[in-house]
Amino acid sequence: MRIGYVVATATPFEFVATLDPERPVSLYDYVVVDHVELDNASGELVNVSLLGQIVKLYRDPYSVKRDLPLYTVIQEVSSNILEVQIAKVKVLGYVLNGELRQPKQPPRIGSPVYLAENEQIAELFKVENGLCVGKLASRDVAVCLDINGIRRHLAVIAATGSGKTWFSVVLIEELLRRGAKIVVIDPHGEYVAIKDSIHRLGPFTARVVKVSKHHVGDLMYKIGVLDSDPEALANAAGVPPGAKKIRYAIYLAWSYAKKVRKATGEKVGLAFMKRVLYTAMRGENALQKLFQQYKGINDGAHKAEGDFPLSDLKQLAAKDRHAIFSALTYLKKLSRLGVFSSRSTPLSKLLGDITIINLAGVNEEVQDYVVSHLVNRLFQARVNHVRGLKGYQLPWPIVLFVEEAHRFAPPKALRKTRSYEALSRVASEGRKFGAYLVIISQRPSKVDPDIISQCQSQVIMRIVNPKDQEAVRESSELLAQEFLENLPGLDVGEAVVLGPIVKLPVVIKVRDRVLEYGGSDIDLTTAWKVDKTADVAQMWRRIFNSPPPPSVMLSASRMRLLHKKREGNKIVIKLLDGDREVDVVIEGGSPRCSVCGVGKPCSHVYKALEEALEVV
Ligand SMILES: Nc1ncnc2c1ncn2[C@@H]1O[C@H](COP(=O)(O)OP(=O)(O)OP(=O)(O)O)[C@@H](O)[C@H]1O
């Protein structure tokens, strides 16, 4: 369909078109222009369709340039006013023999401009085995990303609430379907709900690893205290940087524990370090007794490196029991966290198809510590595999999603973190060893520019903060000014995608997701609905003689009612559990579930009881 004409061209890469003012078109929509190019292979002129994208769109009153007419004048002539609709079009290229080529000639002035057919656009974005994350924002044409583009890392950037996590979950779904192995660094436990919904996607294993005893997880992440350095331990415990004596006491206890482990092979950890400090508190004699127990080590140490740490500990105990007492308090705090142990959790135990590291419940220092420890181990395991080195080998490439990346990789000048070092190593060398980053942040200006610019592909959603826009502009050479200007105008769930994961920069609408995540917007009508839990629990008890298990209630909360009705003394309820329809019939106080059977205490029955309350 013809919508306008080319009226000005400056280069082969863009032109200005005047469009039919009666016909509304959308920003980012695709157009074609008939064009003639020289085919270098055959040396002949060929007729091609030049594809372009509308990147700027505005309307003007005809021939009234800067001196805009007064309101009253416009009011009089408004129905007769001549209006022009102008579009700036970025030329994307033309497809010849299945290849996208760039024109060497600008299109001719006066050439008709047509709206591109969906098939022409689909041809442009065709990717074999792509990651189908959405559609074009302007058309019903699927957009799939090139899986190999992930090898150059990816940044997902957007203002809060614009759909970053939603997009990341969709990307996780697509990657899992292609067999990828994924680790998610999750500071708020938002991705934990993926585990309960993973069955909707297929037979994948999801593991949730927690760092706080009080939070959700299948197992705890443990760090061997003696595998890390004492300064870092003190930081994780929250010892102030200037508290030199306390840090020294921790250092002495750590050094002694390390010697004992080396010499005896005993599993010593935080408990042993605490024992050393307790003993020091009790005085020199007590310390002497402890040292006697490990006499061999002391002798060896004496010969090799003076009587450290024996005499140093003794001296500290004599002069500054207060520092030892404080060090002990900090170590107790560390043991309460439960993260530190005599041995680090083996990677083989941690990893599933997707592993979610739930960092909720611990302070930023501990989060930083855990992330750097884990990322370094994952990276080393890939290096071991690729180089055939000793140590644990990770046989498959991994994709590491880092939510709230500004916490872990802030600009060096702003704040120093341990995880920065680990992440920047993956950013610069991960490509060679099959460790790829997906950096997610709402504050790109607060993420180290070196790390962001290593992410050659970017998914940029709505951004309003000018500083963040500037950071995005600096980190992306590919982001055209027009896209940058339009970022605040993107709707929730829309994104500009650029870099090696797409053939051309494109604006997409992210598709619906299958997996659940926490932290999405709360539906207030549901949240503030009258709570029926107590009534349902009572009915459940009456039927099954026990209270409803929390896991059943949780699964039920994710189901949707399709339909419910009363038929005589029966209540018939149809539910949607993921993509499966389930019928539950409640008759004479006894439930029958089409999936789980008769009288089974399943989550479908729980949901049906909830719904039945309103039918009764
Ligand atoms: N593609 C989409 N389709 C439909 N709704 C969406 C889409 N993306 C986001 N939303 C809506 O926007 C809300 C916020 O999205 P999301 O949780 O991904 O935000 P976010 O950018 O991760 O925010 P935060 O930085 O606060 O974590 C979602 O709860 C959902 O209602």
Residue ranges of domains in the chain, CATH in brackets: 2-126 (2.40.30), 143-221+345-510 (3.40.50.300), 225-341 (no CATH), 524-615 (no CATH)
Ligand 1 contact via 164 beta carbon (within 6 Å):
yes
Measured from the CB, is residue 437 less than 6 Å from ligand 1? no
**Helix or strand or coil: residue 14?**
strand
Burial letters 513-530, b for 16+ CB under 10 A, else e: bbbbbeeeeeeeeeeeee
pLDDT tens digit string along 387-438? 999 999 999 999 999 999 999 999 988 888 889 999 999 999 999 999 999 9
* pLDDT tens figures, 133-169: 999 998 899 999 999 999 999 999 988 889 999 999 9
Residue 63 pLDDT greater than 90, yes or no = no
pLDDT on residue 327: 93
What's the rounded mean pLDDT across residues 217-243? 88
Pocket of ligand 1 contains residue 137 by CB under 6 Å? no
Residue nearest to atom 20 of ligand 1 (CA): 161
Q: Are 211 and 200 in contact (CB under 8 A)?
A: no
- Cα of 524 from ligand 1 centre, angstroms: 15
Is 516 in contact with 170 (CB distance < 8 Å)? no
**Distance in angstroms (rounded) separating the CA atoms of residues 309 and 382:** 37
Q: Which residues pair with 380 in a beta bridge?
A: none
pTM of the model: 0.76
User: Is residue 71 over pLDDT 80?
Assistant: no
Per-residue model confidence as pLDDT tens digits over 285-298? 888 888 777 766 65
Question: ipTM > 0.95?
Answer: yes
Q: What is the mean pLDDT of residues 572-588?
A: 89
Ligand 1 contact via 163 beta carbon (within 6 Å): yes
| Structure confidence by residue, pLDDT tens digits, 551-564 | 788 888 888 888 88
Exposure string over 13-50, b if 16+ CB within 10 A, otherwise e: ebbbbbbeeeeebebbbbbbbebebeeeeeeeeeebbb
Q: Hey, whose CA ends up nearest to atom 31 of ligand 1?
A: 521
pLDDT band at residue 304, thresholds of 50, 70 and 90?
A: very low
User: What is the rounded average pLDDT of the residues 196-203?
Assistant: 91
Average pLDDT, the chain: 86
Which atom of ligand 1 is the closest one to the Cα of 442? 25
What residue's CA is closest to ligand 1, atom 17?
520
In which band, very low, low, confident or very high, does the pLDDT at 301 lie, cut at 50, 70 and 90? very low
